[in-house]
């Protein structure tokens, strides 16, 4: 058996300071390590299964290097640091040098995550990891205990959502590079924040992709929206699989990341007996045994297929959790927003009630949008395996103008949407800025340096929105103004109604954490009654210690709602319409007859304890 320690891709340093350079290039005749400053080339020796390697004392941490392939110097395909961008040389980085202080700090269990999704470049004015650190106390005050960082793997230029990354091991130079990310993660852990990193294993970006010049990283066996699929099951796939598996392990082992959010895994094509996700999970579990830490894998996928989140022991892929877009879709149409495209499959109120109870709205029913039966039941899977939200980067940024929910619905409805998320028996996630009703858009932006590619992206966005018959001009994704206008406006926090919204979210998060019935992840401990005509929902949740009942009014009228019978009576925990939250009218503790007059676009939560 080949020693995996010797196959770690890229440049790694041993305890004696020697550099081990490893490249997987099974079909090449020669590979050399180029020491850029001295212009010296060191030939690599070809070993088993297409791995080339050399050990040297001549390459030190911080030195600039490249690999020479077919007489052409290229970045390291497993580069950790590209100080001159995707087209420049790689810089040797010793992952062991960072002085971690989080070794003995407790980890947050997945079931307790309150997630905050953010984009490094637009979260702060500076758009760096260091600047993000300055906002960690703010997130702690809000009640967040897990941040989810959109992809940071190296992409072309300085502005990108992150899904155009071309070097999966490399940390974006404009954000601060690998040491700054390690520093951020360490700082998060010291403040009690878990870190989720968004990673992309379904495609590689279009500019600066050098992988095909090294080996068969892609296959034409399958088509994807981005071209040829990553080669997880065709000839020479073993080296490709190891490359991505080791990338997963690196984030956990060397950057102390707590969880990975894996982008659009339904677009990963693999017919192997052991699916690549399953093998990743097996290897992550091996690492967890060594590290004594929990390492979570959370996937984005739209297949409503529990095979992804079922244990490996039961034939599943073993993923710890998944995003549930269908909850978002049902919530969106319940709020009165347009039912077009895939939203047309969702009924206001009734689809939302089903998602509260069953996670998936489509679990075997016929989907008119897809023109086929879709999904399976998610019975037996606990609530902590599902992440829900009222907005995220996709559902904001993929609108032509990038309007946030704050620009699409009323202040009252924004509070109701927040309440709907935190009332679920699932993991709640916020998108940066929603907690204070950020008004700036979050638009699609890139900074390709290839003029032809940049123009192709512009034309592609125009075609995309023309297909939806959307009038108006799409913002230029290459424009610096598109990027700058997508940044958070932190000055809004000192103004109204933004400060009230912030305090409202803070209260809501506090209730989620403190009320046993609200943080109970047992999906059997919930009852949902819907009234589509009145546009109302009554949700009852319970734990061994407590019962709560929540009433939600998505209509624009006052609704009379009867609370369930309760021996000890109901006491109000929160009502979004109260004057404290700049609402339309106070809700009092219900009288003996249990009748509540609930103002429009609002919710109220009551408890028996």
DSSP 74-135: E--TT-S--TT-TTS-EE---GGGS----TTSPPPPGGG--EEEE-HHHHSSS-SHHHHHTT
| C-alpha triplet 522, 523, 527: angle, nearest 5° | 115
Question: Is the pLDDT confidence value at 486 over 70?
Answer: yes
Evaluate whether 28 touches 214 at the Cβ level (below 8 Å): yes
Angle (CA) 183 87 175, round 5°: 25
10 Cβ contact list (under 8 Å, min separation 6): 21, 22, 76, 77, 78, 79, 80, 169
Q: Quick check: 63 pLDDT over 80?
A: yes
* pLDDT value, residue 6: 54
363 given a catalytic annotation = no
CA distance 226 to 221: 14
Closest CA to 206 of 470, 551, 455: 455
Average pLDDT over residues 535-559: 97
Q: What is the DSSP string of 248-272?
A: HHHHHHHH---EEEETTGGG----S
Express each pLDDT in 337-364 by its tens digit: 989 888 999 999 999 999 999 999 999 9
Residue numbering of the annotated binding site for substrate: 261-266, 325-329, 393-398
Q: What is the pTM of this model?
A: 0.97
Question: Per-residue pLDDT averaged across 221-250, rounded?
Answer: 96
Give the pLDDT confidence score for residue 5 in this predicted structure: 47
List CB contacts of 460: < 8 A, sequence separation 6 or more.
none
Are 194 and 113 in contact by the 8 Å Cβ rule? The answer is yes
Res 401: pLDDT: 94
Whether 1 shows a pLDDT value over 50: the answer reads no
Taking the CA atoms of 513, 514, 518 and 520 in sequence, report the sign of the dihedral they define: positive
Burial of 505 (0-12, 13-18, 19+ CB in 10 A): buried
Residue 4 pLDDT: 47
What pLDDT was estimated at residue 194?
98
**Looking at residues 28-48, what average pLDDT do you find?**
97
Question: Under a CB-based contact definition with an 8 Å cutoff, are residues 150 and 119 in contact?
Answer: yes
136 — alpha (psi -120 to 50), left (phi > 0) or beta? alpha
Residue 342: its pLDDT value, please?
87
Instruction: Output DSSP code: residue 48.
Output: G
**pLDDT at 275 > cutoff 50:** yes
pLDDT for the residue 454: 86
Q: Which of 164, 207, 242, 300 is catalytic?
A: 300
Domains of the chain with bracketed CATH: 4-97 (2.60.40.10), 515-607 (2.60.40.1180)
State mean pLDDT over 383-395: 97
CA–CA dist 267, 301 (Å, integer):
8
**How high is the mean pLDDT of the chain?**
95
CB 97 within 8 A of CB 182: no
Percent with pLDDT over 70 in the chain: 98
Annotated catalytic, 300?
yes
Q: Which of 483, 409, 412 is closest to 448 using CA atoms?
A: 483
Give me the mean pLDDT over the 201-223 stretch. Answer: 96
């Amino acid at each position: 058996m080949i020693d995996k320690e010797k196959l770690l891709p890229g440049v790694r340093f041993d305890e004696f300071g020697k550099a081990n350079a490893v490249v997987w290039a099974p079909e090449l005749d020669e590979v050399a390590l180029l020491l850029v400053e001295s212009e010296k080339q060191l030939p690599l020796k070809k070993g088993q299964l297409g791995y080339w390697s050399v050990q040297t004392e001549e390459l030190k941490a911080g030195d600039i290097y490249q690999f020479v392939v077919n007489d052409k110097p290229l970045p390291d395909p497993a580069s950790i640091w590209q100080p001159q961008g995707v087209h420049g040389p790689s810089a040797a980085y010793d992952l062991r040098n960072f002085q971690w202080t989080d070794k003995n700090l407790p980890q947050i269990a997945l079931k307790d995550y309150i997630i905050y999704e953010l984009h490094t470049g637009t979260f702060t004015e500076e758009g760096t990891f260091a600047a993000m650190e300055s906002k960690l106390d703010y997130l702690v005050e809000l009640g967040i205990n897990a941040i989810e960082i959109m992809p940071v793997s190296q992409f072309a230029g300085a502005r990108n959502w992150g899904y155009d990354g071309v070097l999966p091991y490399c940390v974006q130079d404009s954000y601060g590079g690998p040491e700054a990310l390690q520093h951020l993660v360490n700082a998060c852990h010291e403040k009690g924040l878990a870190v989720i990193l968004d990673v992309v294993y379904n495609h590689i970006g279009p500019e600066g992709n050098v992988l095909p010049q090294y080996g068969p990283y892609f296959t034409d066996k399958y088509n994807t929206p981005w071209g040829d699929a990553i080669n997880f099951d065709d000839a020479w796939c073993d080296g490709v699989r190891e490359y991505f598996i080791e990338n997963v392990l690196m984030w956990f082992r060397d950057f102390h990341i707590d969880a990975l959010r894996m982008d659009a895994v339904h677009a990963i094509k693999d017919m192997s007996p052991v699916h690549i996700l399953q093998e990743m999970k097996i290897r992550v579990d091996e690492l967890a045994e060594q590290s004594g830490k929990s390492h979570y894998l959370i996937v984005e996928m739209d297949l409503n297929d529990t095979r992804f989140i079922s244990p490996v022991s039961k034939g599943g892929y073993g993923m710890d959790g998944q995003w549930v877009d269908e909850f978002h879709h049902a919530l969106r149409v319940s709020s009165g927003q347009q039912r077009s495209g895939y939203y047309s499959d969702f009924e206001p109120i009734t689809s939302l009630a089903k998602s509260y109870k069953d996670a998936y709205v489509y679990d075997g029913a016929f989907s008119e949008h897809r023109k086929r039966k879709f999904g399976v039941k998610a019975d037996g899977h606990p609530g902590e395996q599902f992440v829900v939200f009222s907005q995220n980067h996709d559902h904001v940024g993929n609108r032509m103008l990038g309007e946030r929910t704050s620009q699409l619905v009323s202040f009252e409805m924004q509070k109701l949407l927040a309440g709907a998320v935190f009332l679920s028996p699932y993991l709640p996630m916020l998108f940066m800025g929603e907690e204070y009703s950020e008004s700036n858009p979050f638009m699609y932006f890139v900074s390709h340096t290839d003029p032809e590619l940049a123009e192709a992206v512009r034309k592609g966005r125009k075609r995309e929105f023309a297909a939806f018959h959307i009038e108006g001009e799409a913002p230029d994704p290459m424009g610096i103004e598109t990027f700058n206008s997508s940044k958070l406006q932190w000055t809004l926090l000192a103004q109204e109604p933004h400060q009230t919204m912030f305090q409202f979210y803070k209260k809501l998060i506090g209730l989620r954490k403190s009320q046993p019935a609200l943080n109970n992840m047992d999906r059997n401990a919930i009852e949902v009654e819907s009234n589509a005509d009145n546009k109302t929902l009554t949700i009852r949740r319970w734990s061994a210690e407590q019962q709560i009942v929540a009433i939600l009014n998505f209509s624009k009228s006052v609704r009379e709602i009867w609370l369930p019978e309760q021996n000890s009576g109901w006491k109000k925990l929160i009502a979004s319409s109260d004057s404290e939250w700049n609402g339309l009218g106070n809700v009092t503790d219900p009288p003996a007859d249990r009748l509540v007059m609930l103002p429009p676009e609002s919710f109220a939560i009551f408890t028996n304890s």
